[in-house]
Chain A
Amino acid sequence: MSDAIAVHLAPPSPSVPVVTERRWVRRLTIAVALAFLFLFVILPLAVVFVEAFRRGWGGYLAALQEADAQAAIRLTLTVAAISVPANVIFGLAASWAIAKFEFKGKSLLITLIDLPFSVSPVVSGLIYLLLFGAQGLWGSWLMAHGVKVAFALPGIVLATIFVTFPFVARQLIPLMQEQGTAEEEAALTLGASGWRTFLTVTLPNIRWGLLYGVLLCNARAMGEFGAVSVVSGHIRGLTNTIPLHVEILYNEYNFVAAFAVASLLACLALLTLALKSVLEWRHGADLAGGAHR
């Protein structure tokens, strides 16, 4: 009896796979997944670069150096430079409040943070137009005071902030909840001020999660089309961001220029992906919380 059990419990030798699916099933599923990936991700990405370089380096650089393209790049960088820090501050404040304190309306706040994910960007753009546009709620008051929001930088920035604000907060809330308040309390008993505690204890504990959130937030801020498209008014050289500029060029059958500018966004995506992978690989435990203690 005991012999029989011993035989059954003997660990399988390494050459025998634990998974029992037939070989052709495994091969087929892998092949399907790869085919999809190729068809829907790699091929389109390749097309962007092939089209962008159709007229060689010269054509590519010329398309990027054109005045309107330069203006679009500058605008996109400006928008990202304002909206990403704004969302870092908002995300830190919201996740700090949600993770470390108990207050009424907490679950409502969590739901609201997710709102931009569930609302179509076009709708959020329209809301800003309805609020700040010439015919909008505050439009005439703003006009009277010489403040231009819709069809100008402030409107684009507002729409971008709205669309991107879940990224940092969503990344930090579970992380901070997981970490609890013990380390902060320890710092306080050791005499550190609240601000000092935040800088020397809280921030280092969430730094990789924060960077991860910033990365995703930035990629979305630079690539946002829907909401920005509604509030920008598509004024060439003035209110066109990179994605809007690509659309205009494409609609004008200026394919090389369109793809050349689009390749910038593609490069940003690849860079984001690479940094994201590095972060996940090197600091996976810190991103998910726990595991490291």
Chain B
Amino acid sequence: MGIRVAGVTKAFAGAAALHDIDLAVRPGELLALLGPSGSGKTTLLRIIAGLVEADRGQVFFGGLDATTLPVQKRQVGFVFQHYALFKHMSVADNIAYGLRVRTRASRPSRAEIRRRTSELLDLVQLSGYESRFPSQLSGGQRQRVALARALAVEPRVLLLDEPFGALDAKVRKDLRAWLRDIHERTGKTTVFVTHDQDEALELADRVAVLNQGRLEQVGSPDDVQDHPATPFVMTFLGQAARFPADIRDGRVLVRGKPVPVAASRSQGSPFQLYCRPWHLKPTAPGQGHQTGTISGVRRLGSMRRIEVLRADGAKLEVEVPLATSLRQGEEIGLEIVDGVLFPES
């Protein structure tokens, strides 16, 4: 079941407001709400869940207008940032809670509840833990119990608030793959909030980037990385160096030298060209678009990153092959081989 958010606006005394958000989550999709803290991403998730009321705008689940439905009736599975497990209940009781609180008419039988609980424990790989209490579990295990509890009520959609925020790096990695797997198996439309670009780009089918309560771009991980809609998306998703640029006769020029970037129009200035570390290529000093001194060489996976100090004091990063001969302190030129052009704001 898809989710549609139409014209949602929320004003707060303070931060994390939302301005006129339109967003459609496709059925079965795994969508990441990505943004820095205070961008309103958690507020948007809570509005979808019904935990926060929007000032204006509507929320639809499939064809159902859920705007006025109270949180209890929305049938969303919500996983809280710090899990919010019921401390005084065992793992099994936590998972069964949503089924037990149903009205008599719609409540499954005891045996059925037990069957569902053990099925979900299986799904989250926690069989044998049913009588443990949350305080006896590790962070990753609590996270999985929280997910099982949310899935127990057969929610229309699954909403996760910073699902891996409180976990250490190794557990995060494992849980990411696992969440992806669960998503594929259950096929639930899922929205998760994160401030971690890598997490969003690795996990999600599509990424919605939020900044200061506005939706900057919604697109596939490739889309938002290769065709960022705004300078914010460009800089938020990774390292980017900026160069002042002009367009003359349909060609993009940096410091008077052409760069191989398609011009959006034939004339104009000023523009800013944003370059990723792999959009720059080292050349001999004095050549290329930029000269600078190497102030550091680091290894990054199968590549090396060199840090180049420009004459104006700004630093930029360039990606080079692992077997580079470049050394710290060397002066080099940089050639721009690609980039994304934005009009200066």
- The chain A residues found within 8 Å of chain B, CB to CB, are 182-183, 185-193, 196, 200-201, 204-205, 292-293
- Contact A293 to B87, CB < 8 A, known contacts A186-B78, A189-B77: yes
Listed stretches B22-30, B68-76, B210-218, B331-339; interface member = B68-76
- Taking the complex as formed, is B149 at the interface, i.e. its CB lies under 8 A from any CB of chain A? yes
Listed stretches B94-102, B123-131, B173-181, B292-300; interface member = B94-102
CA distance A200 to B75 in the complex (A): 19
Q: Judging by beta carbons under 8 Å apart, are B102 and A191 in contact?
A: yes
Q: Judging by beta carbons under 8 Å apart, are B78 and A182 in contact?
A: no
Write out the residue numbers on chain A whose beta carbons fall within 8 Å of the beta carbon of B149.
186, 190
Give A285's nearest chain B residue, CB to CB: B135
Q: Determine which of A183, A185, A200, A201 lies in contact with B51 in the assembled complex, contact meaning CB atoms within 8 Å.
A: A185
Write out the residue numbers on chain B whose beta carbons fall within 8 Å of the beta carbon of A185.
51, 71, 78, 80, 84
Q: Judging by beta carbons under 8 Å apart, are B84 and A186 in contact?
A: yes
Within 8 A of A (CB), among B129-176: 134-135, 149-150, 152-153
CB distance from A37 to the nearest CB of B (A): 37
- Contact A188 to B51, CB < 8 A, known contacts A182-B82, A183-B87, A292-B87: yes
Write out the residue numbers on chain B whose beta carbons fall within 8 Å of the beta carbon of A293.
87, 134-135
Q: Judging by beta carbons under 8 Å apart, are B87 and A190 in contact?
A: no
Number of inter-chain CB pairs below 8 Å: 68
Q: Judging by beta carbons under 8 Å apart, are B72 and A205 in contact?
A: no
Q: Judging by beta carbons under 8 Å apart, are A190 and B98 in contact?
A: yes
Within 8 A of A (CB), among B37-93: 49-51, 71-78, 80, 82, 84-88
Q: Determine which of B71, B76, B86, B135 lies in contact with A183 in the assembled complex, contact meaning CB atoms within 8 Å.
A: B86
Known: A182-B82, A188-B71. 17 other contacts (CB 8 A): A183-B84, A183-B86, A185-B84, A186-B84, A187-B101, A189-B71, A189-B76, A189-B78, A190-B101, A190-B149, A190-B152, A191-B98, A192-B97, A200-B101, A204-B86, A205-B87, A292-B87
- Contact A189 to B49, CB < 8 A, known contacts A182-B80, A196-B101: yes
CB distance from A54 to the nearest CB of B (A): 50
Write out the residue numbers on chain A whose beta carbons fall within 8 Å of the beta carbon of B73.
191
B50, B101, B102: most-surrounded residue (chain A CB, <10 A): B101
Q: Judging by beta carbons under 8 Å apart, are B72 and A188 in contact?
A: yes
Write out the residue numbers on chain A whose beta carbons fall within 8 Å of the beta carbon of B82.
182
Residue total for B at the interface (Cβ-Cβ under 8 A): 28
Write out the residue numbers on chain A whose beta carbons fall within 8 Å of the beta carbon of B97.
187, 190, 192, 200
Write out the residue numbers on chain B whose beta carbons fall within 8 Å of the beta carbon of A186.
78, 80, 84-86, 149
Q: Could you give 23 example pairs across A and B, Cβ below 8 Å?
A: A183-B86, A185-B80, A186-B85, A188-B71, A188-B72, A189-B51, A189-B77, A189-B78, A190-B150, A190-B152, A191-B73, A191-B75, A191-B101, A192-B97, A192-B98, A192-B101, A193-B101, A200-B97, A201-B86, A204-B86, A204-B88, A292-B87, A293-B135
Give B50's nearest chain A residue, CB to CB: A189
Write out the residue numbers on chain A whose beta carbons fall within 8 Å of the beta carbon of B80.
182, 185-186
CA distance A113 to B80 in the complex (A): 33
CB distance from A107 to the nearest CB of B (A): 17
CA distance A293 to B86 in the complex (A): 10
Q: Determine which of A182, A192, A204 lies in contact with B84 in the assembled complex, contact meaning CB atoms within 8 Å.
A: A182
CA distance A160 to B321 in the complex (A): 81
CB distance from B222 to the nearest CB of A (A): 33
Write out the residue numbers on chain B whose beta carbons fall within 8 Å of the beta carbon of A190.
97-98, 101, 149-150, 152-153
Write out the residue numbers on chain B whose beta carbons fall within 8 Å of the beta carbon of A187.
86, 97, 101
CB distance from A14 to the nearest CB of B (A): 31
Give A190's nearest chain B residue, CB to CB: B98
- Contact A205 to B49, CB < 8 A, known contacts A190-B149, A191-B75, A192-B72: no
Give A197's nearest chain B residue, CB to CB: B101
CB distance from B49 to the nearest CB of A (A): 6
Give B93's nearest chain A residue, CB to CB: A200
CA distance A119 to B292 in the complex (A): 75
CA distance A201 to B134 in the complex (A): 14
Q: Judging by beta carbons under 8 Å apart, are A193 and B72 in contact?
A: yes
CA distance A188 to B152 in the complex (A): 14
CB distance from A291 to the nearest CB of B (A): 10
Closest 4 CB pairs of A and B: A190-B98, A182-B84, A186-B84, A189-B78
CA distance A182 to B86 in the complex (A): 10
CA distance A193 to B73 in the complex (A): 10
Write out the residue numbers on chain B whose beta carbons fall within 8 Å of the beta carbon of A205.
87-88
CB distance from B174 to the nearest CB of A (A): 23
Give B135's nearest chain A residue, CB to CB: A292
CB distance from A97 to the nearest CB of B (A): 19
Write out the residue numbers on chain A whose beta carbons fall within 8 Å of the beta carbon of B50.
189
Write out the residue numbers on chain A whose beta carbons fall within 8 Å of the beta carbon of B51.
185, 188-189
CB distance from B306 to the nearest CB of A (A): 37
CB distance from B150 to the nearest CB of A (A): 8
Write out the residue numbers on chain A whose beta carbons fall within 8 Å of the beta carbon of B76.
189
A182, A189, A192, A196: most-surrounded residue (chain B CB, <10 A): A189
CA distance A186 to B75 in the complex (A): 12
CA distance A186 to B145 in the complex (A): 13
CA distance A288 to B87 in the complex (A): 15
A191, A196, A200, A293: most-surrounded residue (chain B CB, <10 A): A191
What 1/0 mask marks residues of chain B from 97 to 118 whose CB sits below 8 Å from any chain A CB? 1100110000000000000000
CB distance from A279 to the nearest CB of B (A): 16
CA distance A186 to B135 in the complex (A): 17
CA distance A200 to B85 in the complex (A): 13
CA distance A28 to B101 in the complex (A): 61
Give B49's nearest chain A residue, CB to CB: A189
B50, B84, B135: most-surrounded residue (chain A CB, <10 A): B84
CB distance from B154 to the nearest CB of A (A): 11
